């Protein structure tokens, strides 16, 4: 037993602590949603790369609890210790494992660097031993760095514009002020490294290996996630270094799709998802301020969605068994259509020039942004008694 009372300690886009019970409550909420909205069976064996937080966690929970699939997840998290709770992703999975066991469902996690050859070998061995061929592979890794699996080189990703410097507004999460920022244009080397980290190379390596190991079932589907976003973030995001990586990911999907069609009559797609508060997105300047503006407008329009709502729509309407995904002219699945709706974006364009520190909480939903951010780490959740000591050491049973 290692119980303690845990207070939030948030610095900018980093939380120095997590609340295991709050994280568990978050997971229970998501599981209740998928049990209500997904068909309850039919997905077979599923591998989720990046399974502990954000879109990957929602995908894992949808697969396990919404479709009763046998699920293997891979993530990179820290378990709790006597004096320190685990990372949010670890706490999330501890609860997901507990619930899966309670329901007699199969969920297993490999907590290791998904970019390494060792982890790939571990996954292949687990699949051969306990699963057999995969019916779905979800690729949802988001990382600031990637170590080359075959050397000591470490590539880093940057969030920078390409071609010219970016001048724009952002919210400083440390002092909660709206500020003008200048972000220097990326060098060619920085763009190339960002593509290495967040582009499609690693997804391709995973799929090559799974094909080689003959671990993909007839009709296997693979999906990775991308983001396009609005006019106000385009110079920094979509046309910037990270956008270059996303375009590489989208091109890679076409290649993997061809391979899967030949190998197992399968398919690969990229799904473009909505901007949401996750550990990855909270680190992106400008996007954080845009999320505050967007949330207010979408909540007023009644079209706001969370991670799990997005993934339920993706699985139920596009990727689930028997469904044929609807794609746009570039072959992309679009669950970001409510965000990019013309009326919503016209409102964003109207609000954006007016936003400043004084009206951040009135014409934008900065409170909503902060609330979502705290929730990622288990804080501010209804029904959790934060004055009570909680167990910090939790196992993935
Ligand atoms: P996230 O930070 O919540 O999750 C990232 C996951 O990757 C975690 O499970 C983490 O443990 C895992 N991970 C990171 N490095 C790893 C490593 N070396 N080995 C194993 N696991 C590792 O991120 P997210 O926002 O859910 O992003 C997932 C995908 O969705 C990304 O491709 C992102 O671009 C895309 N996306 C995000 C948004 C958004 O607004 N958050 C919108 C559209 C698309």
> Which residues are known catalytic residues?
237
- pLDDT value, residue 14: 86
H-run or E-run covering 94:
helix 88-102
User: Does residue 98 register a pLDDT over 70?
Assistant: yes
* Mean confidence (pLDDT) of the chain: 96
Q: Which residues, other chains included, contact 24 with Cβ-Cβ below 8 Å and sequence gap of 6+?
A: 91, 92, 94, 95, 98, 378
Q: Is residue 94 domain-resident? A: yes
Residue 159, ligand 1, Cβ within 6 A: no
Residue 89, ligand 1, Cβ within 6 A: yes
Distance 167 CA to ligand 1 centre (A): 27
Residue 157, ligand 1, Cβ within 6 A: no
What confidence category does residue 1 fall into, taking pLDDT thresholds of 50, 70 and 90?
low
Q: Is residue 154 domain-resident? A: no
Residue 276, ligand 1, Cβ within 6 A: yes
- pLDDT value, residue 2: 80
Find, among 369, 351, 224, 363, the residue nearest to 288 by Cα: 369
What confidence category does residue 275 fall into, taking pLDDT thresholds of 50, 70 and 90?
very high
Distance 134 CA to ligand 1 centre (A): 21
Distance 97 CA to ligand 1 centre (A): 20
pLDDT in tens, 341-371: 999 999 999 999 999 999 999 999 999 999 9
Q: Which atom of ligand 1 is nearest to the CA of 279?
A: 2
Instruction: Decide if 215 contacts 159 (C-beta within 8 A).
Output: no
User: Does residue 230 register a pLDDT over 90?
Assistant: yes
Q: Is residue 265 domain-resident? A: yes
Residue 77, ligand 1, Cβ within 6 A: yes
Residue 55, ligand 1, Cβ within 6 A: yes
Q: Is residue 172 domain-resident? A: no
Best residue among 141, 201, 224, 241 to mutate for probing ligand 1's pocket (most ligand atoms within 8 Å of CB) is 141
Distance 389 CA to ligand 1 centre (A): 30
Distance 358 CA to ligand 1 centre (A): 32
pLDDT in tens, 144-194: 999 999 999 999 999 999 999 999 999 998 899 999 999 999 999 999 999
What confidence category does residue 96 fall into, taking pLDDT thresholds of 50, 70 and 90?
very high
Nearest-CA residue for atom 38 of ligand 1 = 275
3-state secondary structure of 290: helix
Q: Which domain holds residue 134?
A: 3-149+191-280+306-337+376-391
What confidence category does residue 280 fall into, taking pLDDT thresholds of 50, 70 and 90?
confident
Distance 244 CA to ligand 1 centre (A): 17
DSSP 100-166: HHHTT--EEEEES-TTSHHHHHHHHHHHHHHT-SEEEEEE----SEEE-TTSS-EEE-----SSS-E
Instruction: Supply 26's token pair.
Output: 């978050």
User: Does residue 52 register a pLDDT over 70?
Assistant: yes
Q: Is residue 347 domain-resident? A: no
Residue 52, ligand 1, Cβ within 6 A: yes
Q: Which of 4-8, 226-230, 255-259 has the lowest mean pLDDT?
A: 4-8
- pLDDT value, residue 10: 87
3-state secondary structure of 346: helix
Distance 224 CA to ligand 1 centre (A): 10
Q: Is residue 367 domain-resident? A: no
Q: Is residue 46 domain-resident? A: yes
H-run or E-run covering 73:
strand 70-75
Domains in the chain: how many in total?
1
H-assigned helices in 285-356: 287-301, 307-313, 342-351
Best residue among 18, 50, 197 to mutate for probing ligand 1's pocket (most ligand atoms within 8 Å of CB) is 50
Residue 48, ligand 1, Cβ within 6 A: no
- Find the distance separating the first CA and the last CA of the chain, reported in whole Å: 16
User: Does residue 119 register a pLDDT over 70?
Assistant: yes
Distance 47 CA to ligand 1 centre (A): 15
Residue 280, ligand 1, Cβ within 6 A: yes
Nearest-CA residue for atom 27 of ligand 1 = 142
Residue 275, ligand 1, Cβ within 6 A: yes
Nearest-CA residue for atom 16 of ligand 1 = 76
Find the CATH number of the domain harbouring 140.
Answer: 3.40.50.720
CB neighbour class for 116 (10 Å; exposed up to 12, middle 13-18, buried from 19): middle
Q: Which atom of ligand 1 is nearest to the CA of 113?
A: 19
């Amino acid at each position: 037993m290692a119980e303690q009372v845990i207070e939030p300690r948030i610095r900018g886009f980093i939380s120095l602590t997590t609340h295991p019970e709050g994280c568990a409550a978050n997971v229970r909420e998501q599981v209740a949603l998928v049990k209500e909205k997904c068909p309850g069976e039919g997905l077979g064996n599923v591998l989720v790369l990046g399974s502990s937080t954000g879109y990957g966690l929602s995908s894992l929970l949808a697969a396990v609890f919404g479709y009763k699939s046998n699920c293997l997840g891979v993530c990179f998290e820290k378990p709790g210790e006597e004096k320190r709770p685990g990372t949010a992703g670890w706490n999330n999975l501890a609860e997901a494992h507990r619930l899966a066991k309670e329901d007699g469902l199969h969920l297993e996690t490999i907590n290791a660097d998904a970019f390494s050859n060792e982890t790939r070998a571990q996954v292949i061995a687990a699949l051969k031993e306990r699963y057999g061929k995969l019916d779905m592979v979800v690729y949802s890794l988001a990382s600031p760095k990637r170590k080359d699996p075959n050397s000591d080189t470490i590539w880093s990703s940057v969030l920078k514009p390409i071609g010219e410097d970016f001048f724009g507004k952002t919210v400083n999460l440390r002092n909660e002020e709206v500020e003008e920022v200048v972000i220097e244009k990326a060098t060619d080397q920085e763009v190339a490294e960002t593509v290495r980290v967040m582009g499609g190379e690693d997804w391709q390596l995973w799929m090559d290996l799974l094909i080689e190991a003959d671990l993909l079932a007839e009709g296997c589907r693979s999906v990775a996630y991308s983001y396009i976003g609005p006019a106000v973030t385009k110079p920094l995001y979509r046309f910037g270094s990270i956008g270059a990586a996303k375009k590489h990911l989208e091109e890679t999907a076409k290649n993997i799709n061809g391979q899967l069609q030949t190998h197992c009559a399968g398919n690969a797609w990229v799904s473009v998802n909505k901007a949401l508060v996750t550990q990855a997105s909270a680190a992106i300047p400008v996007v954080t301020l845009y999320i505050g503006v967007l949330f207010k407008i979408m909540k007023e329009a009644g079209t706001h969605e969370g991670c799990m709502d997005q993934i339920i729509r993706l699985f139920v309407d596009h990727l689930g068994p028997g469904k044929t995904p609807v794609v746009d002219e570039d072959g992309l699945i679009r669950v970001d259509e409510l965000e990019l709706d013309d009326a919503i974006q016209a409102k964003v364009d109207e609000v954006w020039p007016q936003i400043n520190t004084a009206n951040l909480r009135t014409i934008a939903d900065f409170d909503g942004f902060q609330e979502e951010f705290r929730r990622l780490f288990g804080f501010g959740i209804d029904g959790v008694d934060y004055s009570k000591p909680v167990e910090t050491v939790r196992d993935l049973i």
